[in-house]
């Protein structure tokens, strides 16, 4: 315990340890692949799959049981191109691996069970009779809605300035059935499609644009899957640009939470980015006034973490540097295919607000009106980091929003730290007593209900899984 700094001296608010923990490591040693990409799918019918992708080797799946014992290693008999866009989606007692390439145009779909049995179900995407949607040049979106497997395909029609979204229900080893076709306005010359997500009854569209006077506009569309009726909500931010706007849909009350970084246009100096946030009800009416937190990167902040008091919607991250936010709901740049003239669709971000690299970590607690209630800054000098701005992970367990970060311990040893809000309007911290020589891949963390979370780790030339159980 003496080796752990509880960070009380670093926080401006009350911190205390309030939860017990049990840590378990995988019992088998795996060699790190030395390149490529690792992904994790947890709790596939009681098994955990650690998957390695490489453009020079076939994908390999390492299968662990619930006790983290290595049960098998399977090599998939496929080769993925270097430019393949890969998606993984857990459905019920299986998950799917979807790979898409444009040159040559290919949609590959593999069904994988927990015990490692595999079947190629690509024919569901390649039936010539369904060419109205499956000949898209773009990457399909995959969704798990109430343990059912859905796909969404988007096609842009330049002559009418609209996108057609086709929602398809896939029943592996049986059929692909079109559920609905939805059309919404979109102009490739002025609009940017930022996010699309599917719920049980609606398709949500987030797009940004600028009008003739240069005013930035954020638009949310809610399209009823049965009727095609569209509800629309617009927000304007003057010359400030919406950067990486994101929505979080609450299926319990059908509310929508939208947040985005507001960045200054290129060439403007002296005004730093703020955070835009708003919560809407099922009719897209505001349930509280729009909140804009100014200057979220002040005091040399590199990562600004924000959470709501008494809410279980999770933490928000605003980063002063480009980062790769991979979620099941983020739209790739090639979300739709173009049936009109050739065009180039790109998104660029300007993060040149600083004369030196930011290093500090900021944590902010919001009240029910999305107003700042508590704020804390952990300063880092760039050589020694009390708390690292990245990597990080955020998740919800026991109706609590947790943030998991890397912290520095004594003698240049590293540990993990959980931060979460309490009912008194402060933050609790809980050191996770991990082996200090391991490097944890926090971006791959997955929870298994309210029971525990799983995260991969590496140690020199070895890798494995760690399981952490929290008992609130």
* 283-298: pLDDT as tens digits: 999 998 999 999 999 9
| Residue 131: alpha-carbon gap to chain centroid | 31
- Is 275 part of any domain? yes
Helices (runs of H) and strands (runs of E) counted in the chain: 1, 35
Check residue 454 and give its pLDDT.
97
- Is 37 part of any domain? yes
- Is 5 part of any domain? no
- Is 42 part of any domain? yes
Check residue 420 and give its pLDDT.
94
Check residue 22 and give its pLDDT.
93
**pLDDT (mean) for 437-466:** 94
Check residue 215 and give its pLDDT.
92
Domain carrying residue 98: 20-471
Q: How confident is the model at residue 413 (pLDDT cuts 50, 70, 90)?
A: confident
| Residue 194: alpha-carbon gap to chain centroid | 13
Condensed to tens digits (0 to 9), the pLDDT of residues 329-353 reads 233 334 444 333 222 222 333 333 4
- Report which secondary-structure segment, H or E, holds 132: helix 131-134
CA-based nearest residue to 260, from 224, 292, 285, 308: 292
DSSP 227-253: T--EEEEEEE-TTPEEEEEEEEEETTT
Kindly give, in sequence order, each residue whose CB lies less than 8 Å from that of residue 251, ignoring residues fewer than 6 positions away. Answer: 199, 200
241 near 262, Cβ under 8 Å? yes
From the number of C-beta atoms within 10 Å of its C-beta (0-12, 13-18, 19+), residue 46 rates as exposed
The Cα 312–Cα 265 span in angstroms is 33
- 47-51, 254-258, 350-354, 403-407: lowest mean pLDDT where? 350-354
Check residue 246 and give its pLDDT.
94
CA-based nearest residue to 168, from 193, 136, 137: 136
Check residue 438 and give its pLDDT.
93
- Is 2 part of any domain? no
- Is 13 part of any domain? no
The Cα 286–Cα 282 span in angstroms is 10
Mean confidence (pLDDT) of the chain: 85
Condensed to tens digits (0 to 9), the pLDDT of residues 134-162 reads 877 888 999 999 999 999 999 999 999 99
**Burial readout 80-95 (b: 16 or more C-beta within 10 A, e: otherwise):** beeebbbbbbbbeebb
CA-based nearest residue to 264, from 286, 282, 241: 241
Query: 69 pLDDT exceeds 70?
Result: yes
The Cα 363–Cα 428 span in angstroms is 12
**DSSP symbol at 13:** S
Check residue 214 and give its pLDDT.
87
Provide the 10 A C-beta neighbour count for residue 146.
9
Check residue 417 and give its pLDDT.
96
Query: 460 pLDDT exceeds 50?
Result: yes
**pLDDT (mean) for 182-199:** 95
Written as six digits, the tokens of 82 are 């270097």
Strand partners, 162: 157, 185
Check residue 115 and give its pLDDT.
94
Check residue 472 and give its pLDDT.
60
- Is 4 part of any domain? no
Condensed to tens digits (0 to 9), the pLDDT of residues 232-291 reads 999 999 989 999 999 999 998 999 999 999 988 877 765 778 999 999 999 999 998 999
The Cα 310–Cα 425 span in angstroms is 9
Check residue 430 and give its pLDDT.
93
- 12-16, 366-370, 402-406: lowest mean pLDDT where? 12-16
- Is 15 part of any domain? no
Q: How confident is the model at residue 35 (pLDDT cuts 50, 70, 90)?
A: confident
232 near 219, Cβ under 8 Å? yes
Strand pairing class (241-250; 47-53): unpaired
CATH of the domain at 226: 2.130.10
Written as six digits, the tokens of 459 are 């140690």
Check residue 47 and give its pLDDT.
97
429 near 17, Cβ under 8 Å? yes
Greatest alpha-carbon pair distance for the chain in Å reads: 68
Check residue 321 and give its pLDDT.
61
**pLDDT (mean) for 412-434:** 90
How many folded domains does the chain comprise? Answer: 1
Check residue 19 and give its pLDDT.
55
255 near 281, Cβ under 8 Å? yes
CA-based nearest residue to 419, from 9, 16, 5: 16
- Measure the CA angle with vertex 429, ends 388 and 370; round to 5°: 85
The Cα 28–Cα 354 span in angstroms is 46
Q: How confident is the model at residue 363 (pLDDT cuts 50, 70, 90)?
A: very high
């Amino acid at each position: 315990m003496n080796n752990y700094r509880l960070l009380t001296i670093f926080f401006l608010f009350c911190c205390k340890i309030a939860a017990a923990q049990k840590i378990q490591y995988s019992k088998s040693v795996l060699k790190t692949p030395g390149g490529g990409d690792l992904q994790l799918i947890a709790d596939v019918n009681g098994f955990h799959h650690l998957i390695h992708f490489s453009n020079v080797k076939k994908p390999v799946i390492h299968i662990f049981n619930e006790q983290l014992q290595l049960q098998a290693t399977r090599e998939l008999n496929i080769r993925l191109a270097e430019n393949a866009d890969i998606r993984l989606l857990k459905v019920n007692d299986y998950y799917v691996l979807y790979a898409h390439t444009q040159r040559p145009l290919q949609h590959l779909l593999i069904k994988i069970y927990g015990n490692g049995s595999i079947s190629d179900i690509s024919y569901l995407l390649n039936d010539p009779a369904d060419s109205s949607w499956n000949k898209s040049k773009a990457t399909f979106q995959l969704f798990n809605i109430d343990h059912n497997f859905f796909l969404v395909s988007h096609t842009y029609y330049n002559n009418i300035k609209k996108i057609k979204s086709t929602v398809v229900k896939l029943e592996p080893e049986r059929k692909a059935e079109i559920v609905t076709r939805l059309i919404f306005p979109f102009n490739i010359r002025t609009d940017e499609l930022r996010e699309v997500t599917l719920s049980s009854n609606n398709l949500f569209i987030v797009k940004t644009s600028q009008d003739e006077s240069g005013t930035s506009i954020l638009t949310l569309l809610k399209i009823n899957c049965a009727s095609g009726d569209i509800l629309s909500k617009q927000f304007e931010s003057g010359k400030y640009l919406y950067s990486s706007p994101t929505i979080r849909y609450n299926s319990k009350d059908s509310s929508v939470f939208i947040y985005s970084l507001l960045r200054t246009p290129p060439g403007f100096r002296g005004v730093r980015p703020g955070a835009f946030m708003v919560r809407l009800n099922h009719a897209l009416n505001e349930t509280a006034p729009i909140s804009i937190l100014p200057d979220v990167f002040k005091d040399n902040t590199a990562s600004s973490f924000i959470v709501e008091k008494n809410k279980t919607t999770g933490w928000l991250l605003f980063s002063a540097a480009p980062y790769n936010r991979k979620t099941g709901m983020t739209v790739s740049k090639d979300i739709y295919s173009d049936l009109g003239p050739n065009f180039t669709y790109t998104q660029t971000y300007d993060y040149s607000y600083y004369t030196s690299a930011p290093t500090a970590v900021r944590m902010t607690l919001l009240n029910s009106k999305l107003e700042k209630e508590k704020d804390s800054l952990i300063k880092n000098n760039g050589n020694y980091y009390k708390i690292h701005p990245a990597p990080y992970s955020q998740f919800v367990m026991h109706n609590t929003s947790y943030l998991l970060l890397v912290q520095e311990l004594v003698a240049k040893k590293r540990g993990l730290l959980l931060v979460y809000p309490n009912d008194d309007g402060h933050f609790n911290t809980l050191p996770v007593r991990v082996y200090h020589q391991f490097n944890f891949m926090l971006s791959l963390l997955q929870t298994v209900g309210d029971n525990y979370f799983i995260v991969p780790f590496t140690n020199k030339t070895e890798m494995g899984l760690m399981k952490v159980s929290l008992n609130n």
